[in-house]
Structure 1
């Protein structure tokens, strides 16, 4: 179980994120930065931030599911984007994947990602309850 922390002593979150998250007794999982690649490793949504955000979050969901987790287990995200304005316009997509308590979030604009057609990379940290966690096959 992830508990959100939004103290009244700092500014209130203006979007779908929490200021801090407390982790409990589960298995902590650190996900590699995910990008908009399909199962065959082909880029999805060239030039389309909405499509790339959606595919990237679907990849995170798939990695989580492979260990018995779901998106509600994610408590921290870092977004690396080549266009922060386009990323902010695609923000409503996150509401399809996350609900309160929102993951803590950091967003950074970068010059480019490892491939020039990629617009977004997202890293995640999650805690999957031990009752659901299963170690993926090697």
Structure 2
């Protein structure tokens, strides 16, 4: 069974055209697939334009709230996909990520992209978790 979620504890999806989280009941476990998260505040404005640390912190704070809404945490994350607009900012991103992922690291993919759908967004992060 598939259930889509947009908890009020996180910024609403951009233009309400998608769900923030899909929850798939697998019987003995639940698969959580989070939409790509960018650093948005509750009014839909980009947090920290030009500031990788501020944007990464905002994203992982939103991810934390999305996971918590479904009874999960960073220890349940099995895959992270990161899209950076500038790989020279990778060290700043990684420093923030390490603050949230304190246990064994999940599988991961990081790529540089030419741009994201919002001009001030420096990164977008997708998460998959199993509970």
RMSD: 1.1
Instruction: In structure 1, list runs of 5 or more residues that go unmatched.
Output: 1-24, 129-138
Q: How many angstroms apart in 2 are the aligned matches of 1:33 and 1:115?
A: 12
Cα distance, 1:83 vs structure 2: 0.6
Count residues in correspondence: 104
TM-score, normalised to structure 2, is: 0.75
* Residue 78 of structure 2 is aligned to residue 69 of structure 1: no
Q: Match of 2:117?
A: 114
TM-score, normalised to structure 1, is: 0.71
- Helix, strand or coil: the match of 2:89? helix
> Relative contact order: is structure 1 or structure 2 higher (C-alpha 8 Å, sep ≥ 6)?
1
Alignment counterpart, residue 38 of structure 2, candidates 35, 38, 44: 35
Q: Match of 1:86?
A: 89
The structure that has the greater radius of gyration is 1
Q: How many angstroms apart in 2 are the aligned matches of 1:33 and 1:107?
A: 13
* Residue 55 of structure 2 is aligned to residue 52 of structure 1: yes
After TM superposition, which residue ranges in structure 1, 4 or more long, deviate above 2 angstroms?
87-90
The structure that is helix-richer by fraction is 2
Which shifted more, 93-102 or 107-116? 93-102
